[in-house]
Amino acid sequence: MALEKAVIEELRRAVGREHVIDSKNDLRIFERDASIEGAVPDAVVLPANTAEVSSVIRVAAKHRIPIVPRGAGTGLSGGAVTIHGGIALQVTRMRRILEIDPIAQTALVEPGVVNQELSLAAAAHKLFYAPDPSSQKACTIGGNAAENSGGPHCLYYGVTTNHVLGMEVVFADGSVHWVSGDSPDRIGLDLCGVLVGSEGTLCAITKIKVRLLRTPPSVATLLAAFPTIEAASQAVSAVIGSGIVPAALEMMDQVCVGAVEAHYHAGYPTDAGAVLLVEVDGIPESTIELMAAVRAVLSQNQGYAMREAQSPAERDLLWAGRKGAIGALGRIKPNYYLHDGVVPRSKLPQILSAVGEIGIHYKLPVANVFHAGDGNLHPNILFDLRERDVLPQVESAGEEMLRAVVELGGALSGEHGIGLEKSAFMPWVYSADDLDAMQRVKVALDAHGIMNPGKIFPDPKRKHAQLAGRTGLAIEAKWW
């Protein structure tokens, strides 16, 4: 349902005529993020600053129009999909790094700043921004804050919420507020902690103040092969059990390794059942000792063909393989469906076995690449969307994998958020009272439910659409 012309004109007055998109063909560009579902917005608005964001949200509030904040569209749970139509609030014009304070070790940025660009700018001061999603060359800091993104180095350094000191946000009534501050000992309610990870359902983010860290003087990166994924999983538990917490501890299975090596030629051993990529950092003396200890533990757990990067270029190539793994899987199938359930590290062998059995049952190839150190699983279900009736099979396989995660004492998401794709599964983890408490927070900040509706919480309006997906009917539609 298109927006009325009068509303479009109000939006154009707010941000400028050229920054409102309402052409049917142009809107198609914004119908998806990196998940498998899509819905075309009624309008896309590209504000340039906080005042314009506030004006746009006031227009949405006045007319009770859904509004969905959107960054680079790299999210993997459907958080930026306008499933109830309305306005896509595209903040990528707001991409300035406003300040880097090398003394306080902080940065103030707009939400459209690309993750990697912040670390590159901070590097001039021998600082870096720790959260590093695999999409860091494209994803934005605002999106990272909305989803509470992690990355390979979150095992040691923590996820986004551990690095956000404060935010400027615009609530559903268009009012602008600064939440939290620089002090680690925050006084009063931690509203910033509530808003980080709220997936655009409570506010739009317009500025973020983040903590920067000193670049470690020494980094050591090791690639190790294992005969089976079970052996690699046991090695992960053994490393952590020995008291070592690496900066990163990543795993890829044989399917993933084959695709990565064919694309990147990084020296990944394609005969291995799985590989681990382990990184430690610190002063040179400590990294030497830590890596020697890691090698010893891996050797005791069937690790072989261990190779330590001998130069920054070699280290970058190893990491390019890991961070580009999902893209490399396009060599096998053109489409993928990716989840990010979390299990206790000790349950990795069981969940990987379950994932493999589910893939076999549905006759779908599955490639595993994940943050093994914290049990954050990333099963990639590979498929070709051109195959008739394949999507319901893919969705059912993904649902069964998440059910297995929960049954093993895990969580629905480690870093991708709940969004659209996992909202129906929230009652698996939370009681009705839990969900009601969360909904009351939502209502307190967004009384009319215009901020990214249909995300995180089970959405009764989509029940028929989810059933349609199970029976192979089209899912690309608007749900009202």
351-374 pLDDT per residue, tens? 999 999 999 999 999 999 989 999
**Residue range 444-453: mean pLDDT, rounded:** 97
446 confidence band (pLDDT: 50, 70, 90): very high
In order, the DSSP letters of 346-408 are GGHHHHHHHHHHHHHHHT--EEEEEBGGGTB--EEEEE-TTSTTHHHHHHHHHHHHHHHHHHT
pLDDT tens for 325-349 read 999 999 999 999 998 999 998 899 9
Q: Does 408 map to a domain?
A: no
> Which CATH number fits the domain that encloses residue 74?
3.30.43.10
Q: Does 247 map to a domain?
A: yes
**pLDDT for 46:** 98
How far the first Cα of the chain sits from its last, in Å, is 10
**pLDDT for 251:** 97
Final residue belonging to a domain, choices 328, 357, 390: 328
Which of the pair, 468 or 274, is modelled with greater confidence?
274
pLDDT tens for 242-300 read 999 999 999 999 999 999 999 999 999 999 999 999 999 999 999 999 999 999 999 99
Nearest to 453 by CA among 194, 202, 193: 202
**Residue range 50-78: mean pLDDT, rounded:** 97
Overall domain count for the chain: 2
Residue 32 domain boundaries: 5-90
Check whether 467 has a pLDDT greater than 60: no
% of the chain exceeding 90 in pLDDT? 91
Q: Within 10 Å of residue 356's Cβ, how many Cβ atoms? A: 15
What are 277's strand-pairing partners? 223, 250
Q: Does 56 map to a domain?
A: yes
Cβ within 8 Å of residue 443, ≥6 positions away? 449
Task: Characterize the bridge pairing of strands 87-90 and 43-45.
Answer: parallel
**pLDDT for 478:** 27
> Which CATH number fits the domain that encloses residue 295?
3.30.70.2190
**pLDDT for 282:** 96
Q: Does 66 map to a domain?
A: yes
Final residue belonging to a domain, choices 35, 63, 90: 90
Q: Does 469 map to a domain?
A: no
Q: Name the H helices within 71-167.
A: 115-122, 141-147, 154-157
Q: Does 120 map to a domain?
A: no
Final residue belonging to a domain, choices 64, 90, 116: 90
Q: Does 137 map to a domain?
A: no
Nearest to 143 by CA among 185, 114, 184, 172: 114
Q: Does 53 map to a domain?
A: yes
Q: Assess contact for 380 and 368: CB atoms under 8 A.
A: yes
